[in-house]
């Protein structure tokens, strides 16, 4: 646990008692602060009270008279589409609003670091797609070379649940826009921006607000090194804002759309090969086509980001390449479930938006595509022709409406069981049955993991 520093003897309100909220409350107690907790769900309050926490709804600005700060869990709106009433009361009272990420960066460094040979470092990864795989891949590479490291944030453990750092350790954090948007302190040593595509637009009042939330990791934190995906205008703009000039190697640009050139530091992947260029000269090349855990251009982008982060730490290219080959990938992200009679089954339930689904589709040929769910703002126009798709099998409560928007032949199945059964019945050797929903899961499942688990369970019946 990371005890919260700087709030000793103060009352701190904690709103939302899921994983991050409870860990924040525990870390506040460890730092000699007093948490006042609340969650609208009775079961969550009961769990917190069983641990000895006081639960109290603070609805009026005067309720915050003796509260020093409000800590808000990521899923709770603090501004758009409308602020949570407790957040609004705190803001009216002039009480600072923060989250567990802000508390982490405020508290992580200690005086013990003065005795370390190598100061611990933090790598923070954000972006629309690929941040989980990129974070896990960085952690895997560091583990492979026996570098002490921990994985936390939006993946793995809560940031305040990790162990205090030891000499030379690296903490890898996956951070969502919900987390970067509110944190009062953001000071990573290395920050990674993978890409940007429309997502969570209601929470950020549009694409501009969404990008602004991501940008805070770089603008507020001032990392020593920034690794920026430049395949979208926002990434190019961000890289331009951070660099002092073309040769500024504090910014490492990455791409899977084009060969990057110039006097700076670039890492890009083209036709399955990762290339690193510094000062206009090639420094390394890696064949990614034979890396089973990183299929497709979208995973090659993740490889570029993880490679650049590890190079910024001083790891050699061949060491990184060797670690790529032992990376198994993550569940629900281009996860190979199995193969039978020449048909492969791939679970990419994490492809919850159109851009992620399009990238998953482009990684395979002869796809029988299981898609559908709770459609996100913006519709399905960005899918394009989806030329790799032989047929779509649509699930979800609004399957008929979803199917009407697809640029391919579609069959309305509604349930995962029916979709897998129909896809299996019609599949031929060489086909890939791919779950890449291009939609949220909440119309039928609690989360994308549950949806992916259902897909795997249905596939296992056939396997």
% helix, strand, coil for the chain, step of 5: 35, 25, 40
Residues 200-222, mean pLDDT to the nearest whole number: 93
Domain that holds residue 356: 335-462
Residues 277 and 146 in one domain: yes
Assess if residue 252 is contained within a domain: yes
Give the range among 27-31, 328-332, 441-445 with minimum mean pLDDT: 328-332
Assess if residue 266 is contained within a domain: yes
Residues 212 and 303 in one domain: yes
Assess if residue 5 is contained within a domain: no
- Dist. CA 193–CA 301, nearest whole Å: 11
Residues 363 and 319 in one domain: no
Domain harbouring 66, CATH code: 3.40.50.720
Model confidence, pTM: 0.86
Confidence check: pLDDT of 333 > 90: no
Assess if residue 1 is contained within a domain: no
Is 314 annotated to bind ligand?
A: no
- Dist. CA 12–CA 160, nearest whole Å: 15
Predicted confidence (pLDDT) per residue in 387-435, tens digit: 889 999 999 999 999 999 998 999 999 999 999 999 999 999 999 999 9
Last residue of a domain, one of 80, 98, 116: 98
Angle among Cα 283, 286, 288 to the nearest 5 degrees reads 155
Assess if residue 6 is contained within a domain: no
HSE (CB half, 13 Å, CA atoms) of 197?
24
Is 222 annotated to bind ligand?
A: no
Predicted confidence (pLDDT) per residue in 41-82, tens digit: 999 999 999 999 999 999 999 999 999 999 999 999 999 999
The average confidence (pLDDT) of the chain is: 95
Residues 195 and 273 in one domain: yes
Confidence check: pLDDT of 385 > 80: no
Residues 123-132, mean pLDDT to the nearest whole number: 95
Supply φ then ψ for residue 209, to 5 degrees.
Answer: -65, -35
Is 75 annotated to bind ligand?
A: no
Assess if residue 249 is contained within a domain: yes
Fill in the DSSP letter of residue 161: G
Assess if residue 93 is contained within a domain: yes
Confidence check: pLDDT of 344 > 80: yes
Domain harbouring 422, CATH code: 3.90.190.20
Last residue of a domain, one of 56, 73, 98: 98
Last residue of a domain, one of 41, 69, 98: 98
Residues 110 and 204 in one domain: yes
Assess if residue 4 is contained within a domain: no
Is 176 annotated to bind ligand?
A: no
Contact predicate 223/189, CB 8 Å: yes
Residues 35 and 86 in one domain: yes
Which of these, 65, 5, 13, lies nearest to 30 by C-alpha position?
5
DSSP assignment of 75-138 equals TS-SSSS---HHHHHHHHTT--EE-HHHHHHHHS--GGGGG-SS--EEEEEE-SSSHHHHHHHH
Residues 229 and 267 in one domain: yes
Is 450 annotated to bind ligand?
A: no
- Dist. CA 209–CA 232, nearest whole Å: 16
Residues 183 and 317 in one domain: yes
Number of folded domains that form the chain:
3
Predicted confidence (pLDDT) per residue in 437-452, tens digit: 999 999 999 999 999 9
């Amino acid at each position: 646990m990371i005890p919260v520093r700087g709030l000793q003897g103060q009352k701190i309100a904690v709103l939302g008692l899921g994983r991050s909220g409870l860990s924040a409350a525990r870390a506040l107690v460890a730092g000699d602060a007093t948490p006042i907790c609340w969650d609208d769900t009775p079961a969550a309050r009961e769990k917190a009270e069983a641990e000895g926490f006081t639960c109290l709804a603070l609805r009026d600005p005067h309720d915050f008279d003796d509260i020093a700060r409000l800590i808000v869990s990521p899923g709770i709106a603090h501004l758009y589409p409308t602020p949570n009433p407790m957040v609004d009361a705190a803001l009216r009272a002039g009480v600072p609003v923060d989250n567990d990420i802000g508390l982490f960066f405020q508290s992580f460094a200690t005086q013990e670091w003065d005795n370390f040979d190598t100061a611990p470092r933090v790598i923070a990864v954000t972006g629309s797609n690929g941040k989980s795989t990129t974070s896990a891949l960085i952690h895997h590479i560091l583990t492979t070379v026996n570098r002490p490291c921990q994985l936390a944030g939006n993946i793995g453990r809560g940031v305040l649940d990790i162990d205090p750092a030891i000499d030379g350790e690296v903490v890898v954090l996956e951070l969502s826009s919900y987390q970067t948007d509110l944190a009062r302190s953001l000071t990573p040593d290395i920050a990674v921006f993978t890409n940007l595509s429309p997502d969570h637009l209601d929470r950020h009042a549009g694409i501009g607000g969404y990008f602004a939330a991501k940008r805070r990791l770089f603008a507020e934190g001032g990392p020593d090194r920034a690794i920026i995906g430049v395949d979208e205008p926002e990434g190019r703009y961000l890289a331009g804002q951070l660099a002092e000039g073309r040769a500024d190697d504090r910014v490492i640009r990455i791409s899977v759309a084009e060969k990057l050139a110039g006097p700076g530091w670039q890492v890009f992947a083209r036709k399955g090969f990762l290339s690193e260029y510094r000062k206009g000269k090639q420094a390394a090349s890696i064949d990614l086509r034979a890396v089973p855990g990183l299929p497709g251009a979208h995973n090659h982008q993740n490889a570029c980001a993880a490679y650049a982060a590890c190079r910024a730490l001083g790891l050699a290219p061949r060491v990184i390449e060797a670690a790529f080959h032992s990376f198994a990938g993550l569940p629900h992200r281009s996860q190979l479930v199995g193969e039978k009679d020449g048909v492969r089954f791939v679970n990419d339930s994490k492809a919850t938006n159109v851009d992620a689904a399009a990238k998953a589709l482009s990684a395979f040929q002869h796809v029988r595509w299981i898609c559908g769910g709770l459609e996100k703002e913006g519709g399905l126009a960005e899918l394009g022709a989806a030329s790799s798709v032989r047929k779509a099998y649509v699930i979800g409560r609004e399957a008929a409406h979803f199917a009407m928007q697809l640029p391919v032949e579609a069959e309305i199945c509604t349930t995962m069981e029916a979709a897998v059964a129909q896809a299996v019945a019609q599949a031929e050797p060489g086909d890939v049955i791919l779950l890449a929903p291009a939609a949220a899961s909440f119309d039928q499942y609690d989360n994308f993991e549950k949806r992916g688990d259902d897909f795997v369970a249905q596939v296992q019946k056939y396997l």
